[in-house]
Amino acid sequence: GQIRKSSGRNRKFWSVYQTLENIDALFESSSDPHQWDEEKWNDFRGLVYRQIVESKCIMNKSEAAQDFPSREASLKVYFEAISSTLKEKDFSYCAWEIVRNEILHTLKFILDDTMLFKSS
């Protein structure tokens, strides 16, 4: 019962944490999308960073990481592909729109997945 729910919750938090870490790393290694609203861009980056910092305080990373090393590897490959797209397209507006769409899709997926977990 409760131990299983806690372990599942840690894995969910770990997935969210790893996704946010990868998003932050992508932004750190890329030039800013000059076509986007600078204030919104900075607000979003600040939000991602804040969530990473706060996530470190509420989870046991080592337990969750041991449960799902393949998930972490999959996220790394996924974000490397996104980074490659940006570089191949020379950080163009279209490339950043692809990235924006992928990140929105990814965040929606993990948030929906987390919400399903809370209701079960």
Domain hosting 10: range is 2-119
Closest by CA to 55, choosing from 20, 5, 6, 105, is 20
Domains contained in the chain, number: 1
Whether pTM > 0.85 for this model: the answer is no
Q: Please determine, for residue 5, whether its predicted confidence score (pLDDT) is greater than 70.
A: no
Cα within 13 Å of Cα(86), Cβ side: 22
Task: Give the CATH number for residue 43.
Answer: 1.20.1250.10
What pLDDT is stored for residue 74 in this prediction?
Answer: 86
